[in-house]
């Protein structure tokens, strides 16, 4: 009896110790993230506040069509979906800053459903929400059946899981892609946006994607977030792109990665949007206008070096960006990748990325002191 009591006692002590340790670690981990107290309120940002848009404006060069999903619910589930706001807003302003007027269309027309992830919102995204002209366009989208593709120099398919349901079988979308591609105009798509390309056949009878390098949301990215994705979606995007003859270019999970085959430009995930949109501008024959790189993009640079070369090299790059170049660093994104590593059971990588997050905080605070 006494032995059982002693075992129970030490079991309780062990559990309490683990809980306390987790609490202390969680408290310390949250302390690595920027405090909201001293942060500027970016929710009120206007397009006119952004030098990229308001200074050194470029004369009109033509029009680009952005297409978003009209799907609000994922298949037979009760899970809401729509287009990803950050993927539209950032590309929209790249196109606009580089002299292109942007029209927005959707399969059904009117106001499409939107996904807004508060943690990913930045200056450009809030500026888009506060932009009357942009909001009018996105709330009154053109039905794709009514689109005259001859008016546009390029089409850009915005991601969002809803695209998996209403892009692939849409005959008007297929016609827009085929007509523009065969006219040597530019086709762009990011994240789930490449679902628009999977059933496009050229006038030669050859699938558009046949033997072309292509990127899109990967199976690993999809299944980590939605374990039953195979039962929810009509297909997994990576599988379908490969089945249609595409040569799938898979980059690191949740980091920037694009593919280009002449006038076909595709991106893996939301973090690929900036580079994809500017690559489209280059393919249209123009040098992209100078733009201050965002804190998120700087964090992506560090994370890519971490994946390719290791933590020491990543810390060295981070120190150079923050201390020497005096550029902002989004350490929340670095911390998120630590959490992703933990979700994958990669505990060593989790602690390594937590250490990198801590380094980012120390370097930033050292600059202020």
Residue pair 267/184 in contact (Cβ under 8 Å)? The answer is no
Q: Kindly state the tokens that stand for 369.
A: 């002191």
What CATH number should be reported for the domain whose range is 42-283?
3.40.50.880
More confident residue, 32 or 310: 310
What residues does each domain of the chain span?
1-31, 42-283, 293-369
Strands 154-157 and 62-67: parallel
Residue pair 247/261 in contact (Cβ under 8 Å)? The answer is no
pLDDT at 39: 58
Largest CA distance in the chain: 87
* Lateral strand order in the sheet of 186-190: 142-143, 100-106, 62-67, 154-157, 186-190, 264-267, 258-261
pLDDT at 41: 85
Per residue in 206-256, pLDDT (tens digit) is 999 999 999 999 999 999 999 999 999 999 999 999 999 999 999 999 999
Over residues 330-358, mean pLDDT = 92
What is the pTM (predicted TM-score) of this model? 0.90
Q: Does pLDDT of 6 surpass 70?
A: no
Q: Does pLDDT of 43 surpass 60?
A: yes
Q: Does pLDDT of 13 surpass 60?
A: no
Strands 213-214 and 264-267: unpaired
- On average, the pLDDT of the chain sits at 90
pLDDT at 163: 98
Over residues 274-297, mean pLDDT = 97
CA-based radius of gyration for the chain? 23
Q: Does pLDDT of 172 surpass 50?
A: yes
Please provide residue 142's backbone torsions phi and psi, each rounded to the nearest 5 degrees.
-80, 130
Q: Kindly state the tokens that stand for 42.
A: 């970016």
Within its chain, how far is the Cα of 80 from the centroid? 18
Q: Does pLDDT of 12 surpass 70?
A: no
3-state secondary structure the chain: CHHHHHHHHHHHHHHHHHHHHHHHHHHHHHHCCCCCCCCCCHHHCCHHHCHHHHCCCCCCCEEEEEECCCCCECCCCCCECCEEHHHHHHHHHHHHHCCEEEEEEECCCECCCEECCHHHCCHHHHHHHCCHHHHHHHHCEEEHHHCCHHHCCEEEECCCCCHHHHCCCCHHHHHHHHHHHHCCCEEEEECCHHHHHCCCECCCCCECCCCCEECCCCHHHHHHHCCCHHHHCCCCHHHHHHHCCCEECCCCCCCCCEEEECCEEEECCHHHHHHHHHHHHHHCCCCCCCCCCCHHHHHHHHHHHHHHHCHHHHHHHHHHHHHHCCCCCCHHHHHHHHHHHHHCCCHHHHHHHHHHHHHHHHHHHHHHC
Which has the minimum average pLDDT: 182-196, 228-242, 338-352?
338-352
* Among the listed residues 96, 51, 201, the one whose alpha carbon sits nearest the alpha carbon of residue 104: 96
Number of C-alpha atoms within 13 angstroms, CB side, residue 283? Answer: 25
């Amino acid at each position: 009896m006494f032995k059982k009591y002693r075992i129970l006692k030490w079991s309780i002590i062990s559990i309490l110790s683990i809980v306390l340790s987790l609490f202390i670690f969680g408290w310390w981990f949250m302390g690595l993230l920027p405090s909201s107290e001293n942060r500027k309120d970016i929710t009120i940002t206007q397009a006119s506040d952004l030098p990229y848009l308001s200074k050194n404006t470029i004369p009109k060069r033509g029009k680009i069509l952005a297409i978003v999903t009209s799907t609000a619910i994922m298949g037979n589930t009760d899970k809401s979906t729509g287009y990803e706001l950050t993927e539209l807003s950032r590309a929209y302003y790249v196109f606009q800053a580089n002299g292109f007027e942007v029209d927005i269309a959707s399969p059904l027309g009117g106001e499409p459903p939107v996904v807004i992830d508060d943690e990913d919102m930045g200056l450009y995204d809030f500026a888009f929400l506060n932009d009357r002209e942009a909001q009018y366009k996105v709330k009154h989208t053109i039905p794709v059946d009514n689109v005259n593709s001859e008016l546009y120099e390029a089409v850009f398919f915005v991601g969002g899981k809803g695209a998996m349901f209403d892009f692939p079988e849409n005959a008007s979308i297929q016609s827009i892609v085929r007509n523009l591609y065969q006219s040597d105009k530019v086709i762009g798509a990011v994240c789930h946006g490449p679902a628009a390309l999977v059933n496009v056949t050229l006038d030669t009878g050859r699938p558009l994607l046949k033997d072309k390098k292509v990127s899109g949301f990967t199976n690993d990215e999809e299944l980590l977030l939605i374990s039953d994705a195979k039962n929810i979606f009509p297909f997994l995007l990576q599988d379908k792109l490969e089945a249609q003859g595409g040569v799938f270019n898979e980059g690191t999970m949740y980091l920037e990665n694009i593919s280009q085959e002449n006038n076909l430009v595709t991106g893996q995930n939301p973090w690929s949007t900036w580079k994809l949109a500017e690559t489209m501008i280059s393919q249209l024959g123009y040098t992209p206008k100078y733009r201050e790189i965002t804190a998120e993009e700087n964090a992506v640079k560090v994370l890519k070096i971490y994946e390719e070369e290791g933590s020491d090299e990543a810390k060295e790059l981070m120190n150079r960006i923050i201390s020497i170049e005096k550029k902002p660093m989004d350490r929340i994104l670095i911390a998120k990748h630590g959490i992703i590593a933990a979700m994958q059971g990669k505990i060593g990588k989790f602690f390594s990325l937590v250490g990198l997050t801590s380094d980012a905080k120390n370097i930033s605070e050292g600059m202020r002191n």
